[in-house]
Structure 1
Amino acid sequence: MVTPEITTAELTALDTALLEALNPLAASMRARATGLPEDRMWAADPSDVALSILSTWKVVDEEVKRLTAIAAQTAGAHGASYERMGVAWGITRQGARKKWPDAVDKSAAPKTGASNLELFGGTAELFRDTSSDGWRWKGQGADGTCSEDNGALTLATKEEAAAHAGAFLKEHTADEGWMPVRWVTDGSG
């Protein structure tokens, strides 16, 4: 998923809508803070008025953060990973996990999705690492060599794990002959 670009016209419309929504809130907050009626909001020291606007944007900013967290929680509840949330927000998977630490319920994360890859006479198992929201693999080459513990190597996608496993299996063939790839999955992908 690529984060969509916003056009100049859309940005102008957004600015207009935000300012229209902000004005009544700013007037109300300023009236409470100063005791002046809302219709006299602008009849004050310009720096006081600007600071009132700034404090109102702070309220809006906090509300946007709250609504953003709700959206992330909803996405996570419907199966979105931190990787996908990061793409949507323009940050890394780790950044998304830090920003919304409870958005993806690890206990509800699918434990399935494991696949076996048979290649070059060896086999490798690809599996989800629920502690890191990534993918890992372990395998045995056709020459009998077992993969070392690659626990420190968590990969972002299943395809990336397959590529690493495939490279290992190619390196540990029994002979130089090529063997076709065969995927054996549990059906959950």
Structure 2
Amino acid sequence: MMPSEITDAELTALHKSLLDALNPLASAMRARATGQPEERMWDADPIEVTLSILATWKVVDAEVKKLTAAAAKTAGAYGASYEQMGAVWGITRQGARKKWPDAVNRSATTGAEASLVELCGGTAELSRDPSSGGWRWTGQGADGTRGEADGVSCYATKEEAAAHAGAFLKEHAADRGR
């Protein structure tokens, strides 16, 4: 597992990237709220401008929480435990279970039940093939493309099937061209 600490240079680059991403969104939100053109955002009362920025960070915070929950659910679908997720997040196993209650499917952790992988806006279901005992997947990418393990592919482990399903979902993400 990778250490969660980042270097000062990485932190500086992260701050710059976040601010670079925030500015156009803050300008657009402020323009919609005031009816003023985006290029005049900074001409307003400083309190109003900073409140616009605060409102924009609220939107970003909500989206980060959704992405975090999706990452936890995907980790759980691949077999990560609440203990592992808590360790990565710096909280207890119980804290992770409370934060992401649906991330770990108890029946999926046994390895015998079907499970769902959600990645890049798409979903794939992993299931055991009754004839071979191996694992298969079927899914739909965010772009609407449906796919499944080909007729001859049956994977030895659930994790292997999940990896192939994940590759399909990544290939068929809605924003793949951006």
CA distance in 2, matches of 1:25, 1:100: 28
**Rounded Cα–Cα distance in structure 1 between residues aligned with 2:88 and 2:57:** 24
- 2:85 maps to 85
- Answer whether contact 1:29 1:56 (CA < 8 A) is retained: yes
Report the equivalent of 2:103: 103
- Post-superposition offset of 1:111: 7.4
| More divergent stretch after superposition (93-102 vs 4-13) | 4-13
Taking every aligned residue pair, what percent have the same amino acid on both sides?
72
5+ residue gaps, structure 1, are 113-189
Aligned residues: 112
- Cα gap change, 1:31 to 1:110, in 2 (>3 Å): same
For the Cα contact (< 8 Å) 1:3–1:87, is it kept in 2?
A: no
Could you say which residue in structure 2 is the equivalent of 1:57? Answer: 57
List alignment gaps of at least 5 residues for structure 2.
113-178
Deviation digits for residues 150-169 of structure 1 (CA, Å, limit 9, x no counterpart): xxxxxxxxxxxxxxxxxxxx
User: 2:22: which partner in 1?
Assistant: 22
Aligned residue identity for 1:5: E
- Counterpart code for 1:72: A
Q: Structure 2: how far apart are the matches of 1:3 and 1:102?
A: 25
CA distance in structure 1 between the aligned counterparts of 2:34 and 2:63, rounded to whole angstroms? 23
Task: Choose between structure 1 and 2 for higher RCO, CA contacts under 8 A separated by at least 6 residues.
Answer: 1
Deviation at residue 8 of structure 1 after TM alignment: 0.7
Number of the residue aligned with 1:32: 32
Normalized per residue, which structure has more helix?
A: 2
RMSD: 1.4
Q: Residues 1-189 of structure 1: matches in 2 within 5 Å?
A: 1=1, 3-110=3-110
2:61 partner amino acid: D
How far apart, in 2, do the equivalents of 1:5 and 1:48 lie?
Answer: 35
SS of alignment partner, residue 41 of structure 1: helix
Distance 1:95 1:60 in 2: 23
Paired residue type of 1:77: A
Amino acid at match of 2:23: N
Alignment CA distance shift 1:111-1:27 (3 Å): closer
Rg larger for: 1
> 2:131: which partner in 1?
none
